[in-house]
Amino acid sequence: MALTNSQYYEIMRGYERTRLKNHDIQTARYEEVCRRIPEFRSLDGSISDLSVQYGKRLLGGDEHALESLREELGRLRGRKRSLLADAGFPEDYLEPVYTCPDCRDTGYIGNQKCHCFKKSVIQFLYAQSNMQEFPTEASFEHFNLDFYTDSQYDKTTGRSARAMMKDTLNICRRFIDTFGQDFRNLFFYGSVGVGKTFLSTCIAREIMNREFSVIYFSAPQLFNILAKNKFERDNSDAGNMADYIYNCDLLIIDDLGSEYTNAFSSAQFFTCLNERLIHRRSTIISTNLSLESIADLYTERAFSRITSNYDLLKIIGDDIRIRKKLKNREEH
């Protein structure tokens, strides 16, 4: 999903705020220079007067007026540079101030978006993703396959935890590399602490770096917003967020089953899944529940949508958080 108009205008307003801030810095510097060098302001006045004077001569047909103006302006500007240097100011102290000199804080170089615009988009998407609480270590760069051993096996398939995670990582990589081209959804399930949330966060960061919109919710947060949107019609924030839930490029629903489950939440869950499938918006779901429990807690239609349209990725292993704590104790 490309940026919505409101998102685009919010980013452009950020550039406007940057330009105003930098203009204020430049103005403050000029006033500082004039306080310390009283002659400086009068030189600027002389430059303005000369421009008007020689402009009249040019209009009057004086062929030498332009050359004379250049000489006079050069002399006055040279005097200004000398005054700045003598007072200890940097030569470029009064030049326009830009946070991004390449686009001069406009976001564009010609008709092309500047590199800083892309950075602004990513920062904006990250701020809206509801992922600010996650540590920066939640990235593939810090993903440690050693937590998944060859000695633990899945009772159903007989495959080891490590082999299953290797396959899962390959599927996640394809999901990322083809995002926006192929429509896919992921469903992570397994016991507590095996890395489902960590893996979802790793994917989210990669997707946002490609300038796609991502939003993360724990299941209780998601259903709370959907309930407010349903029953609090005057709650515009909930309405806007519900619209984003249905339309963002990637929705992550973490810890499905941790919410209070009833007929309403089951119906809302199906509606959310179905709407996103219809509009081909990708979703990642993680849960500690088994597939059988999903079928019992939610509607058969929701279960059918998941099993038919999601890559079902089982993750097994020990609780990684506990293993990390034990390792830290051993090291200290």
- 140 pLDDT band, cuts 50/70/90, is confident
Amino acid at 219: A
Query: How many residues are present in the chain?
Result: 332
For the record, the structure tokens of 200 come out as 């979802």
CATH of region 129-331: 3.40.50.300
- 2 pLDDT band, cuts 50/70/90, is low
122-131 residue pLDDT tens? 788 777 787 7
Alpha-carbon span 80 to 88, nearest angstrom: 13
End-to-end Cα spacing for the chain: 48
80-138 residue pLDDT tens? 888 889 999 998 899 999 999 999 999 999 999 999 998 888 788 777 787 766 666 77
Domain edges within the chain? 5-108, 129-331
Is the predicted pLDDT of residue 67 greater than 80, yes or no? no
Is the predicted pLDDT of residue 188 greater than 90, yes or no? yes
Nearest CA-CA partner of 216 in 250, 187, 240, 267: 250
Alpha-carbon span 133 to 84, nearest angstrom: 48
Predicted confidence at residue 58, as pLDDT, reads: 64
* Helix (H) and strand (E) counts in the chain: 12, 7
Alpha-carbon span 49 to 117, nearest angstrom: 40
**Whole-prediction pTM:** 0.72
Amino acid at 240: N
